[in-house]
Amino acid sequence: MTTHTELPSMQESLLDVADKKIFVAETGEGPPVLLLHGGGPGASGVSNYARNIAELAKEYRVIVPDLPGYGRSTKGVDGADPFGYLADTIRALLDRLGLDKAHLVGNSYGGACALRLALDTPDRVDRMVLMGPGGIGTTRALPTPGLNSLLNYYSGDGPSRLKLEKFIRNYLVFNAADVPDSVIDARYQDSIDPDVVAAPPLRRPSGPNALRTLWKMDFTRDKRLARLPVPTLVLWGAADKVNRPSGGPMLAGRMPNCDLYEVANTGHWVQFERAELFNRLCADFLAGRR
């Protein structure tokens, strides 16, 4: 299995995008693919896709941004429409890179970003791969224990390494031993950046417009989903404790060009836990080989 020490050398840039600084790492040549990371505490693009970048770069130009609020990018996310805010930023990044269209690969929060971007501007997305994306059926059931653990990280007694380790080992993955201590240590340090603690990028909607925000954040309420032409592959861990695996059939039943692959003995982090399978399926799907 690919490890964190086998990342290729990557070109790093801090780009001016829509009045923000967006950190981007890239490598490889070929059709452009943006890898959009999840929203857990301390997440960042390269760390999220450490087991995938080298393999995908054999065939694609792999572009890995840190989403707003994470890593080395500008902190803060518009709480009134977080998925729209992320999508607008990534669309502006495509403009900044001179790309009319690109493949999008999104895990969890990044999957919600990719899906919203595709719904708003389908002409900008070639093909799309979503892994346990956020915003699927979220108004139709109570939050999962895993999602509650994620959303409570900055509340109560505040962030701690113990809280982060519990989230990652108990809820993020199927096999807790698959995550090295070094990954948790690095994510914890990033999660306690003072700017992040002051404005956590992933929070429960609150205030007088909270219900409107919640409704907007559930893609199964969006009628455009049934008309979305973008060919999409949805990968969902059968043991996902953060976003319910039932979201997979919800998407496949609503989207006209959606393939669904449920991955056995796998949690929320398909691209990390089942890297070899993910890399093969992703590369083949984006190339139109399946």
DSSP 83-129: HHHHHHHHHHHHHHTT-S-EEEEEETHHHHHHHHHHHH-GGGEEEEE
Q: Which residues pair with 129 in a beta bridge?
A: 105, 233
Q: Which residues contact 285 (CB under 8 A, 6 or more apart)?
A: 127, 129, 231, 233, 259
**Could you tell me the pLDDT band of residue 5, with boundaries at 50, 70 and 90?**
very low
Q: Is 268 a known active-site residue?
A: yes
Mean pLDDT of 52-59: 97
Report the amino acid identity of residue 206. Answer: S
- Confidence class for position 3, pLDDT limits 50, 70, 90: very low
Query: In the predicted model, is pLDDT for residue 215 greater than 90?
Result: no
Question: For residue 258, which phi and psi values (nearest 5 degrees)?
Answer: -120, 120
* % of the chain residues with pLDDT over 70: 98
What b/e readout covers 48-70, taking b as 16+ CB neighbours within 10 angstroms?
A: bbbbbbbbbbebbbbbbbbbbbb
Among residues 4, 37, 103, 268, which one is catalytic? 268
pTM metric for this prediction: 0.95
24-33, 127-136, 200-209: the lowest-pLDDT one: 200-209
Closest listed residue to residue 230, CA positions, set 261, 260, 257, 251: 257
What phi and psi, each to the nearest 5 degrees, are found at residue 162? -65, -45
Q: What CA–CA distances, in Å, run from 266 to 237, 238, 245, 262, 280?
A: 5, 6, 11, 9, 16
